[in-house]
């Protein structure tokens, strides 16, 4: 177990504390806070499954809203606390070490303007090929949180016309839309991220609005890397 302090990906004035035993953040955690709709009227944001807090930290550079990060794993929560303290964001970002499946029942309905989540991507069954490092298993497989639970929680704690945005895998798009609509969340924006030109999309960004009107925007594609393997100019614009 090795704990290290790194620059937050691309953000040269911000640090993040990581541990090699855990599922460290990646480009997904930079794309989502740069995708979600933020406006001057929002006052409360929740990031579900915040890990060591990359999404709350990036969100804090884009809004003055109160940000709450919820993380079930105590070790990851402790790393998040260190990251928030190092960056002196304690007055804006609150961290909660809890299971969101239990926590949301104690949260008053219609409380949050925005919810973000980088959820586990893979369904879990007895035959699943899992990583037996428990931290990584929870991060990758829908053991503690699945899509149905995520959008059920969002339906309760989001304000009317509140926004929920997630980053996921393109192959689960149809299922995501179905579960959103079942929970009165109308899909409004979708963007596909491609590793390079002429490659298949490997990341999906999708945003929905609670009790929103029908109408889905398919946004222009993003390409994360050029032929030399470097980040494209589109991606670099997300960084400070």
Lowest-confidence region among 86-90, 133-137, 200-204: 133-137
Domain harbouring 207, CATH code? 3.40.50.150
Please tell me the total count of domains within the chain. 1
Each residue's pLDDT tens digit, 86-117: 999 999 999 999 999 999 999 999 999 999 99
Rounded CA Rg of the chain: 17
Each residue's pLDDT tens digit, 16-73: 888 766 545 578 899 999 999 999 999 999 999 999 999 999 999 999 999 999 999 9
Using CA atoms, how far residue 153 sits from 60, 107, 156, 191, in Å, is 23, 10, 5, 23
CA distance linking residue 34 with residue 235, whole number of Å: 10
Domain hosting 209: range is: 3-236
pTM: 0.88
Residue percentage of the chain with pLDDT more than 70: 82
Residue 18's pLDDT is 80
pLDDT at 143 over 60: no
Average pLDDT over residues 200-225: 96
Each residue's pLDDT tens digit, 56-67: 999 999 999 999
User: Any idea what DSSP says for residue 109?
Assistant: S
DSSP string spanning 3-61?
EEEEEETTEEEEEEEEETTS----THHHHHHHHS---TT--EEEEET-TTSHHHHHHTT
Q: Mean pLDDT, the chain, as a whole number? A: 87
Q: Terminus-to-terminus CA distance in the chain, angstroms?
A: 30
Each residue's pLDDT tens digit, 148-171: 999 999 999 999 999 999 999 999
């Amino acid at each position: 177990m090795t704990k290290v302090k790194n620059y937050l990906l691309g953000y040269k004035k911000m640090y993040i504390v990581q541990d090699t035993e855990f599922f460290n953040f990646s480009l997904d955690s930079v794309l989502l806070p740069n995708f979600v709709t933020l406006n001057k009227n929002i006052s409360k944001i929740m990031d579900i499954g915040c890990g060591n807090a990359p999404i709350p930290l990036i969100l804090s550079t884009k809004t003055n809203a109160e940000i709450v990060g919820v993380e079930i794993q105590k070790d990851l929560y402790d790393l998040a606390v260190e990251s928030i303290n190092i960056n002196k964001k304690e007055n804006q970002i609150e961290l909660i070490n809890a299971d969101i499946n239990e926590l949301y029942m104690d949260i008053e309905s219609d409380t949050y303007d925005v919810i973000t989540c980088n959820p586990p991507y893979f369904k879990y069954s007895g035959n699943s090929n899992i990583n037996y490092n428990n931290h990584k298993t929870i991060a990758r497989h829908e053991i503690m949180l699945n899509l149905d639970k995520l959008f059920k929680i969002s339906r309760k704690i989001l304000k009317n016309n509140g926004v929920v945005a997630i980053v996921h895998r393109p192959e689960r798009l149809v299922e995501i839309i179905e579960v959103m609509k079942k929970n009165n969340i109308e899909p409004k924006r979708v963007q596909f991220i491609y590793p390079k030109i002429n490659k298949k999309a490997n990341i999906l960004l999708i945003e929905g609005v609670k009790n929103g009107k029908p109408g889905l925007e398919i946004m222009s594609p993003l390409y994360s890397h050029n032929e030399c393997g470097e980040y494209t100019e589109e991606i670099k614009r997300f960084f400070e």
